A and B are shown apart, each in its own frame.
Chain A
Amino acid sequence: MTSIGLAGGWRIKQPSVIPGFGLALGFTLTYLSLIILLPLAGVVWRTASLGWSGFWAIALDERTVSALKTSFGTSLVAAAINVPFGVLVAWVLTRYRFPGRRILDAIVDLPFALPTAVAGIALTALYAPNGWIGGLLAPLGIKVAYTPLGIVIALIFIGLPFVVRTVQPVMEELSRESEEAAATLGANRWQTVRRVILPGLMPAILTGFALALARAVGEYGSVIFIAGNIPYVSEIAPLLIVIRLQEFNYAGATAVAAAMLIVSFAMLLAINLIQAWSRRRYGYGG
């Protein structure tokens, strides 16, 4: 257990024998600024032209708030469903051996590769009342396509690989020794999983959750096909941005975009802070 993080001090960087900090960080910051921050500054700039009151009028407009609620609500539900299932999938894929495992392992990445529009079309075809799954659910009175439930389905599809692929490498890295030690000390399997394995996985699980959530909030291509897009019911925030652009209302569009940016940035930051905290709390693995 090495932990440089334990040393105190108020300098920007804590001392380390490892070289390349300046180069790595310098390059990272430059690239980040050019590709991400500078263009995003454009959004802020356009929004700023509205002034504070103008921005808040749009951000707190009933329609905007309801679209943001739909986007964040469905994303939260989808990410919350993806965490247990994603961890389970990662666990089964790393720990168990069964026929077809490699194929399943490869297929987890599919949502990354499939263009989101295709995913949307395929999912809508499946879940529409005349689709393979929608047809089974329709007699039970369950409607999926063109309801918020449909949005959740699309977002589960989009988010799953984020959880699995973030958790999986760490799970593979986990040392068997600590599990064996726990078992030797009399812990049953459930206790070992809960007390030894899960804490080690926690940072990765949180990252996976955050990424699945963050990705889901902005998702557009796959959702518009299955959502129904009814204002105040199944209208997502990115669609509202498109609508504002269509009205040649750039300031309105960037204001909604900025509102989304602020909320998701705050969420991501919170989760990254929790993660940093949990890493200090549980230390590094390996």
Chain B
Amino acid sequence: MLRRRQVLALGAFLALFGLAAGAPALADTTLLNVSYDPTRELYKDVNAAFATYWKNKTGETVTVKQSHGGSGAQARAVIDGLDADVVTLALAGDIDAIAKNSKKIPADWAARLPHNSAPYTSTIVFLVRKGNPKGIKDWGDLVKDGVQVITPNPKTSGGAQWNFLAGWAWALKQHNGDEAKAQAYIAALYKNVPVLDTGARGSTTTFVQRGIGDVLLAWENEAFLAIDELGPNTVEIVVPSLSIKAEPSVALVDGNVDAKKTRAVAQAYLEFLYTDEAQKIIAKNYYRPTKPEAADPKDLKRFPSLTLVTIDDFGGWAKAQPRFFLDGGVFDQIYKPGK
């Protein structure tokens, strides 16, 4: 056993040197896509399709490496020097942060690709226990006594910020634009939250596997995936009367692709996301395609139609983030003791 470990160890050393020596030579055909948590399954499929597409088009072999994590944490890693060729994050706000703090992405990045650089969208829905025992139909039911709501922490999760904003938008409409009432609603909502996980995936696990809570606020794609992977017979989706159009955005990291000389292939990768082929994969993975005509109609049928507000109704991320989520924002205010 000891000998085997030594052999492994030797192998490890060689691998290390191989890694160090091999990295620059491989750079022109390896891309790094730094993404957020729920896109793992999506990009596994997209990357395979892109590799074939690129091979057919140019004859070059390209490997796309993936890095997944909380959207904000991933943005910070890129700011701190992670060599991402492209970023595909949960919020435009996180890409703005990279642009602002590292200057590796120009400030007008969103205008460089169609649909505000969002090749797919999603929305926020409710996941409830099978048969909906608490009779949860809409946002108003979430603040009732004895209803436990599971949602991640907006401080650490991008998806949780969409959850928060969707709830706010509903309350604002319900109370004819009275912001004080909307804030009271949000405060009551978060009073019913027993666990604030750090990420969307953690919340899904808490809800489905640990059996905590009556309703999970989730990305639509996460809700579908959770039913597929974890519990077709234990949970079901409830569509609220109003939700938000969540736009996960993508961007080329100019500072890195220029240093690594991968601009052409990285740009092609992002443009590939808008092709019919990729849009089909996107719909299959429960994201709403921006080009629905390219998707399989069977996949499209799964998406319920509902009224959606957008981030622009909040004045864009540049306004929404400091107001609601940064230090001292609405989310901090509702947790102040004595409120």
Contact = CB atoms under 8 A, between A and B. Distances in A.
| Touch between chains A and B, by CB atoms below 8 Å | yes
Interface of A: 62-63, 124-125, 128-131, 145-146, 224-225, 228-232, 239, 242-249, 252
Given A128-B210, A229-B153, 7 more contacts: A63-B335, A145-B212, A229-B198, A243-B156, A245-B76, A247-B326, A252-B327
Contact of B210 (A145, A239, A246): A145
Given A63-B332, A125-B210, A242 B194 contact: no
Given A246-B70, A248-B101, A229 B197 contact: yes
Given A128-B210, A246-B76, A230 B196 contact: yes
A225 B156 CA distance: 14
Contact of A130 (B193, B211, B327): B211
Nearest to A147: B194
A162 B196 CA distance: 30
Nearest to A235: B196
A225 B209 CA distance: 13
A224 B153 CA distance: 12
B68 interface: no
A242 B73 CA distance: 9
Interface of B: 70, 72-73, 76, 79, 97, 101, 153, 155-156, 193-198, 202, 209-212, 325-327, 332, 335-337
B210 A229 contact: no
Given A246-B70, A246-B72, A246-B73, A228 B211 contact: no
B211 A128 contact: yes
Return the 9 tightest CB-CB contacts between A and B, nearest first: A128-B210, A246-B72, A130-B211, A243-B155, A231-B335, A229-B196, A228-B195, A146-B195, A246-B156
B107 to A, nearest CB: 16
Contacts of A128: 210-212
A246 B196 contact: no
Contacts of A124: 210
14 contacts: A128-B211, A146-B194, A228-B194, A228-B195, A228-B196, A242-B198, A243-B153, A243-B155, A245-B73, A246-B70, A246-B72, A248-B79, A249-B326, A252-B327
A46 to B, nearest CB: 13
Most buried by B among A128, A246, A249: A246
B153 A129 contact: no
A27 to B, nearest CB: 25
Contact of A248 (B70, B97, B194, B211): B97
Nearest to A135: B211
Contacts of A230: 193-196
Contacts of B76: 245-246, 248
Select the residue from B72, B101, B153, B337 with max chain A CB neighbours within 10 A: B153
B202 A225 contact: yes
Contacts of B209: 125
B156 A146 contact: no
A125 B205 CA distance: 10
A246 B77 CA distance: 11
Contacts of B194: 146, 228, 230
Nearest to A229: B196
Contacts of B156: 242-243, 246
A266 B84 CA distance: 41
Contact of B327 (A129, A145, A247): A247
Contacts of B210: 124-125, 128-131, 145
Contacts of B211: 128-130
Contacts of B197: 224, 229
Contacts of B335: 63, 231-232
A83 B325 CA distance: 41
A247 B198 contact: no
A249 B327 contact: yes
Given A62-B337, A128-B210, A128-B212, A224 B332 contact: no
Nearest to B199: A224
Contacts of B327: 244, 247, 249, 252
A244 B76 CA distance: 12
Nearest to B322: A247
A266 B76 CA distance: 32
Contacts of B202: 225
B195 A229 contact: yes
A38 B153 CA distance: 33
B292 to A, nearest CB: 34
Contacts of B193: 230
A37 B194 CA distance: 39
B70 to A, nearest CB: 7
Given A232-B337, A243-B153, A246-B70, A129 B332 contact: no
Contacts of B195: 146, 228-230
Contacts of B325: 247
Contacts of A130: 210-211
A85 B159 CA distance: 43
Please indicate which of the listed interface residues B79, B155, B211 has the most CB atoms of chain A within 10 Å of its own CB: B155
Contacts of B79: 248
A157 to B, nearest CB: 18
A248 to B, nearest CB: 6
A133 to B, nearest CB: 13
Contacts of B101: 248
B238 to A, nearest CB: 22
Contacts of B72: 245-246
A8 B73 CA distance: 55
